Amino acid sequence: MRIFNFFTQDIAIDLGTANTLIIQDGKIVVDEPSIIAINRRTGETIAVGTKAMQMHEKTHENIKTIRPLKDGVIADFQAAESMIEGLINMAVKRKKFFTHLKMVICIPSGITEVEKRAVFDSADHVDSKETYLIHEPMAAALGIGLDVEEPIGNMIIDIGGGTTEIAVIALSGIVCDQSIRTAGDEFTADIMNFMKRQHNILIGERTAEQIKIHVGSALSELENPPEEFAVNGRDLMTGIPKQITIGYAEIAHALDKSISKIEDAILKALETTPPELASDIYKTGLYLTGGGALLRGLDKRIAQKTKLPVHIAEDPLRAVVRGTGIALQNSHKFTFLIDRKSV
């Protein structure tokens, strides 16, 4: 127990390609899109999170919006640091010289040593005195409520914005994993391309994201189909704004190839699973998490492909940050946390 609790601040961060979430004292205090708006001339931060997202694709020559993470890893270090700092400041009112900041940050399992060091450097920049990293599938498993220390295999499939991570977890470790850079962002890009090719209409990333959420589907036939969705964009022929309506079957067609890539990765992960753990997974099934788990019909499609039961995690967008929070509370005993010395 810490006597000087007043001077310590423990936070858990899920630094995602699409969303960054922060937990403090068991409560989610930040849940914002991973984006920053900067002044192009001075480099100053203008806004982070939702406010920056409102400016995205609507900027002029003085303002630039940046999504610092791409494919699950930091693509723009400076922007990432400014964004992390902005988001942490949103959560905690720090008294810089007195506070001992301790952080657990979640990272994709396919991350390189150089990329890990970059995350540690970002943490140093915001004055973290004690930093640990945790692999995303492990955090997801904890967040779902699985007992990761048991000698029982569980398969987690985390479909985020940048990466899909498939991992088998047992005895506090990742036994085998597959990480592919096909996830929500790729679905969004598929939708933009489809609209251009099929309907001669140009749409932005945010509109494509809305289409995905309103009429996104992994199957061309759904039991509970969503209503058609009105889409505004620019007609490629006339250059004039135009509106069309889109149904879910069309989007299932647009997403088919990317979903097949995810299915292939799942099959590969199952093939490389040691037989005793495979037998556990046959009984326990597969756990879907991350925002991609919300895509209509995806659970059913994966279940049909693998002939295994598929469970969608409760609140899939927050499972990882909750798990990272659990890791923070158990940082003294969880051996799978990564500290600065080990990279």
Q: Residues interacting with ligand ATP, by CB under 6 A?
A: 16-19, 72, 136, 160-163, 183-185, 209, 212-213, 216, 290-292, 294-295, 317
Residue 163 interacts with which of Mg ion, ligand ATP, none, CB < 5 to 8 Å by class: ligand ATP
Rg of the chain (C-alpha set): 21
33 binds, among ligand ATP, Mg ion, none (CB under 5 to 8 A by kind): none
Measured CA distances, 269 to 137, 259, 310, 320 (Å): 13, 15, 15, 20
Q: Minimum Å distance from CB 202 to ligand ATP?
A: 19
Q: ∠ at Cα 150 (140, 281), nearest 5°?
A: 70
> Do residues 233 and 242 lie in contact, with contact meaning Cβ atoms separated by under 8 Å?
yes
Name which of 165 and 280 has its Cβ closer to ligand ATP: 165
Q: Which of these, 30, 24, 13, lies nearest to 104 by C-alpha position?
A: 13
Least Cβ distance, residue 16 to Mg ion (angstroms): 4
Q: Which does 190 bind (CB under 5 to 8 A by kind): ligand ATP, Mg ion, none?
A: none
- Whichever of 16 and 233 has its CB closer to Mg ion, that residue is 16
Nearer Cβ to ligand ATP, position 139 or 168?
139
Cβ of residue 232: shortest distance to Mg ion, in angstroms? 30
Report the residue number, 75 or 175, with the smaller CB distance to ligand ATP: 75
> What is the nearest approach in angstroms of ligand ATP to the Cβ of residue 6?
32
- Which residue lies nearest Mg ion, judged by its C-beta? 160
- Looking at the Cβ atoms of 186 and 280, the one nearer to ligand ATP is 186
Contact partner at residue 102 from ligand ATP, Mg ion, none, CB < 5 to 8 Å by partner kind: none
Residue 170 or residue 317: which is nearer to Mg ion going by CB?
Answer: 317
Q: Compute the least distance from the CB of residue 279 to ligand ATP, in Å.
A: 29
Rounded CA separation 114/292 (Å)? 28
CB of 71 to ligand ATP, least distance (A): 8
Q: Which of 158, 86, 106, 160 is nearest to 337 (CA)?
A: 106
Burial of 221: CB neighbours in 10 Å, binned 0-12, 13-18, 19+: exposed
Choice between 277 and 319, CB closer to ligand ATP: 319
Residues in contact with Mg ion by CB under 5 A are 16, 160
For residue 184, the partner it binds in ligand ATP, Mg ion, none, with Cβ less than 5 to 8 A by kind, is: ligand ATP
Tally of residues, the chain: 343
| Least distance to Mg ion, CB of residue 324, Å | 10
Work out what residue 183 binds among Mg ion, ligand ATP, none; the CB cut-off runs from 5 to 8 Å by kind.
ligand ATP
